[in-house]
Structure 1
Amino acid sequence: MDARRVGLFGGSFDPVHNGHVALARLALAHLALDRVVWIPVGHPWQKARRLAPADHRLAMVRAAVADEPRFLVDDCEIRRPGPSYTLETVHELRARWPGVQEWFLLLGEDQYAGLPTWHGWQDLVQCVTLAVAARDARVPVPTGALRAVPHRLEVLPLPTWPVSSTLVRQRLAAGQDVDALVPPAVARYIACHRLYLTD
């Protein structure tokens, strides 16, 4: 990869929605990134809910980001057997792209607060700069174990965005329109494959 500053954006993306795209575009601009790598989760060890099949989630992310050349979709977590650990993903991508000088991990405030529950989180925060999306540009305050571990933090000032994957799934299960919540290509994909008709 010909890039020096790269953001990593992992998630279930079940389905990917306009809020995800807005956050990734904000990260590109605010952090002066050369690339944002989208990484759909393979086996989310912290989620009890069953996700849509990985091939559908991967295809929806690819459809959502096709018009932005600085977005790249990587299926390493889907291909890798066993639980999807972010630390393993970061190690794999750093080995694959040794020319990258700085890695940023895009997170929501809830993920930042829950980081000490992640596998190998103390090693993870030594490998990346945490880029945390915060409402009203407020600086997230580390709590508990996270407060005791030095880490690099950048704040992404994310406007209020009233959309979530849960809302999208609920509306689809109820037979309601989601065109305002997801990119047009994702809406077409969901309709074509009749996804999320029951939740």
Structure 2
Amino acid sequence: MRLSEGARIGVFGGAFDPPHNAHVALATAALAQSNLAELHVIPTGQAWHKRRTLTAAEDRLAMAKLAFSDPEGRVVVDSREVLRDGPTYTLDTLHELQREQPGAQLVLIMGADQARALPTWHGWQDILGIAIVSVAYRALSTGSTARFDPKMLPGLPAGARFEALELPAMDTSATDIRRRAALGENISSLVPPAVARYIDQHHLYRSA
């Protein structure tokens, strides 16, 4: 469906291995604070920057659909990157969305740590020419450092646009969840209930 001119489309990518409560909180905050017509949740395909092998794409996609189900229909779990051959680049995804919705404004959603690492991204300056970057900040997060300042990015292009998303403090990580699941520990407080059931039923992250 073609959105109206100027409609804002959120783009929230990640491995989602697995999607957890902090991911859901970020998506909820983006919908509430960023005036989005749609939010595309995009599990990554062949991630060029990941050293470990990701869980099978079909499992991560299925878990994302369970985690981000939205009765209002504003959240789209977008499979384009898991279906794409070769390395997955955010820039390519933004170009595709731009062609599909030429009048829309793209809003790329990420955490502060990812924002600081933007200069390592493929075509990062081109990304900043296409999308507003919405940076999520967790209140009083463990080990928090000074608030991200875009002006500290070397080579920041003129006209780059940034916004802030405010999140509650949540000390949750997919790495810790995978470790707990491998040890047989209860992860039901860390992921949405449907995701916990999926992990258990499909024996994901088991060490043996």
- TM bracket (short chain): over 0.9
Counterparts of 2:153 and 2:43, CA distance in 1? 28
Q: 1:90 aligns with which of 80, 88, 94?
A: 94
Counterparts of 1:198 and 1:133, CA distance in 2? 33
Q: Does 1:72 align with 2:83?
A: no
Q: Percent of aligned pairs with the same residue?
A: 46
Q: 1:28 aligns with which of 25, 31, 51?
A: 31
Q: Does 1:158 align with 2:167?
A: yes
1:173 deviates by: 0.7
Q: 1:97 to 1:144 in 2, by over 3 A?
A: closer
Q: 1:123 to 1:107 in 2, by over 3 A?
A: same
Write the mapping of 1:1-199 to structure 2, written as runs, cut at 5 A.
Answer: 1-3=1-3, 4-68=7-71, 69-100=73-104, 102-136=105-139, 139-142=147-150, 143-147=152-156, 149-198=158-207
More deviation, 136-145/45-54:
136-145
Counterparts of 2:153 and 2:101, CA distance in 1? 33
Maintained 8 Å contact 1:61/1:73:
yes
CA displacement 1:42-98 (0-9 Å, x = unmatched): 011011011100010000000112234211011111111111000000001111223
The 4+ residue runs of structure 1 with deviation greater than 3 A are: 136-139, 146-150
Counterparts of 2:185 and 2:23, CA distance in 1? 21
Paired AA for residue 149 in structure 2 = V
1:135 deviates by: 2.7
Counterparts of 1:57 and 1:84, CA distance in 2? 15
Counterparts of 2:91 and 2:123, CA distance in 1? 6
Q: TM-score, normalised by structure 2?
A: 0.90
Q: RMSD value over aligned CA atoms?
A: 1.7
Maintained 8 Å contact 2:109/2:134:
yes
Maintained 8 Å contact 1:105/1:131:
yes
Gaps spanning 5+ residues in structure 1: where? none
Is the partner of 2:23 in helix, strand or coil? Answer: helix
Maintained 8 Å contact 1:115/1:146:
no
Maintained 8 Å contact 1:122/1:149:
no
Paired AA for residue 45 in structure 2 = G
Paired AA for residue 21 in structure 2 = N
CA displacement 1:25-48 (0-9 Å, x = unmatched): 101111111111000000110110
- Which residue is equivalent to 2:143? none
Paired AA for residue 171 in structure 1 = R
Gaps spanning 5+ residues in structure 2: where? 141-145
The number of residues matched between the two structures is 198
Counterparts of 1:80 and 1:113, CA distance in 2? 27
Paired AA for residue 180 in structure 2 = R
